[in-house]
């Protein structure tokens, strides 16, 4: 069965800020090998992005320049009731009331304030991206029909629901992470939660990346179990090097313990530092590397000083993918201490590199892999003890290293694509066999 998909995602390499971009890249490549035709709609960027296995459409007004605007009549996208948290403009602003016309296009094209993608604040940029994506998908659907629309996370969900309502297309939404996850349930934005809940309840099928996430969607958003599918993330293990001697001599003067990820409350980096203090109270030769950026950086630097371990902790900041592969190879242990982690693909990256991983029990990856150690994120005593065990017992670390490489190689994107195609076919059957015809507006 050949499926033609309109896929909406905020990131696609090299325009990335997290794991979503990697997921979309690898998933679309694997889907194309199974005959799925994909048009990918993403924000306008300064990058020229092109890949042979899909068509990429930046959501930009320039898309419409080839059409005769006088002969186009589309109902404006309805964003009533939705206004991004932190937005500097009213919910009743121009995006809600915009008319699809040359005048509107020129007005928006000249609105250059400040943003990574549109010259707007983040939530205004998200709003405009959704608005344009709806119009673009609707126009292309009228020329060469899609079978379904596939959205990734809340950031494109409003567009997906509008497309579903306007065209009658089946809607699949992948929830990679919820606002409860991103804020460790401490201060979630209600507006984003509402979008997530609507997407979960209105999609024909929902994909999530772990059983833990599926349970959260059921408990918090009332997800229908019959429309909920767990499809774990994967990795292209061939991209990772496993020969540690390539970068370090066989007998290193110090052992390296690595954290890699966003520096946020969700990721539990504070527990990593507390465990580091306990490890260093036993072995002062261990070095701790913290790779990544985020709002917690100043607090973490101060915390390292207060704990008396600043001389053994190195904050690496942003590290490119290629440099990160080298760091994985030279590290002795990766620790993923997340308070809430829907999956945790960094653990697979470490395993593919032959680096033993210690992951939080509240991470989805702990459901998927066998060859890693687990710990409660808050139990810094056990975290420190397991780090020391992997550093001090070569037979343990070597067994984990070999098993990790083998297991990571077996977790492929082809399997993710196979399961995703199954979800597509299920969504199409349920939409066209049991739902009313498309609503024409």
Domains of the chain: 4-234+414-434 (3.40.50.2000), 237-411 (3.40.50.2000)
The whole-number pLDDT of residue 118 equals 66
79 phi and psi angles, rounded to 5 deg: -110, 20
> What pLDDT, on the 0 to 100 scale, is given for residue 393?
93
Q: Are 34 and 421 in contact (CB under 8 A)?
A: yes
Q: Name residue 37's beta-bridge partners.
A: 4
pTM listed for this prediction: 0.85
Q: CA angle, corner 197, sides to 167 and 190, nearest 5?
A: 125
Residue 298: name the closest of 277, 274, 269, 321 by CA. 269
Report residue 47 as tokens.
Answer: 């990058």
pLDDT score for 228: 97
pLDDT tens across the length of the chain (441 residues): 679 999 999 999 988 877 899 999 999 999 999 999 999 999 998 888 999 999 999 999 888 876 554 444 444 444 443 333 333 333 333 333 333 333 444 444 444 333 455 667 888 889 999 999 999 999 999 999 999 999 999 999 999 999 999 999 999 999 999 999 988 888 899 999 999 999 999 999 999 999 999 999 999 999 999 999 999 999 999 999 875 554 444 456 789 999 999 999 999 999 999 999 999 999 999 999 999 999 999 999 999 999 999 999 999 999 988 999 999 999 999 999 999 999 999 999 999 999 999 999 999 999 999 999 999 999 999 999 999 999 999 999 999 999 999 999 999 999 999 999 999 999 999 887 755 443 332
Per-residue tokens: 4: 């033609």
């Amino acid at each position: 069965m050949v499926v033609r998909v309109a896929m909406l995602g905020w990131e696609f390499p090299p325009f990335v800020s997290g794991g979503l971009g990697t997921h979309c890249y690898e998933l679309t490549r694997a889907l194309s090998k199974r005959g799925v035709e994909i048009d990918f709609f993403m924000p306008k960027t300064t990058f020229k992005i092109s890949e042979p296995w899909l068509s990429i459409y930046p959501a930009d007004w320039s898309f419409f320049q080839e059409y005769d605007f006088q002969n186009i009549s589309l109902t404006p996208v309805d964003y009533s009731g939705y206004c991004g948290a932190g937005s500097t403009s009213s919910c009743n602003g121009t995006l809600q009331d915009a008319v699809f016309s040359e005048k509107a296009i020129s007005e928006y094209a000249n609105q250059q304030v400040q943003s990574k993608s549109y010259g707007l604040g983040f939530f205004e940029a998200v709003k405009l991206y959704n608005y344009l994506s709806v119009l673009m998908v609707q126009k292309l659907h009228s020329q060469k029909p899609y079978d379904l629309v596939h959205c990734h996370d809340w950031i494109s969900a409003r567009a997906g629901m509008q497309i579903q309502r306007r065209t009658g297309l089946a809607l699949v939404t992948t929830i990679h992470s919820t606002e409860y996850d991103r804020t460790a349930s401490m201060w979630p934005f209600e507006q984003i939660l509402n979008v997530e809940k609507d997407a979960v309840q209105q999609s024909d099928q929902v994909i999530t990346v772990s059983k833990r996430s599926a349970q959260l969607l059921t408990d918090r958003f009332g997800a229908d179990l019959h429309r909920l599918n767990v499809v774990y993330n994967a990795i292209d293990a061939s991209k990772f090097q496993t020969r540690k001697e390539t970068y370090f001599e066989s007998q290193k003067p110090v052992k390296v313990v690595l954290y890699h990820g966003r520096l946020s409350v969700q990721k539990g980096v504070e527990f990593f530092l507390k465990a580091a203090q306990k490890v260093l109270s036993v072995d002062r030769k261990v070095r701790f590397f913290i790779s990544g950026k985020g709002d917690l950086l100043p607090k973490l630097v101060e915390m390292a000083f207060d704990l008396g371990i600043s001389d053994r902790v190195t904050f690496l900041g942003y590290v490119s993918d290629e440099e990160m592969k080298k760091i994985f190879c030279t590290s002795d242990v990766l620790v993923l201490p997340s308070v809430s982690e829907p999956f945790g693909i960094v653990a697979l990256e470490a395993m593919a590199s032959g680096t033993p991983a210690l992951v939080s029990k509240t991470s989805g990856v702990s459901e998927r892999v066998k060859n890693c150690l687990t710990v409660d994120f808050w139990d810094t005593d056990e975290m420190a003890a397991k780090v020391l065990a992997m550093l001090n017992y070569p037979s343990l670390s070597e067994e984990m290293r070999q098993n990790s490489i083998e297991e990571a190689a077996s977790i492929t994107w082809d399997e993710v694509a196979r399961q995703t195609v199954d979800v597509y076919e299920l969504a199409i059957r349920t939409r066209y066999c049991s739902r009313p015809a498309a609503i024409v507006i």
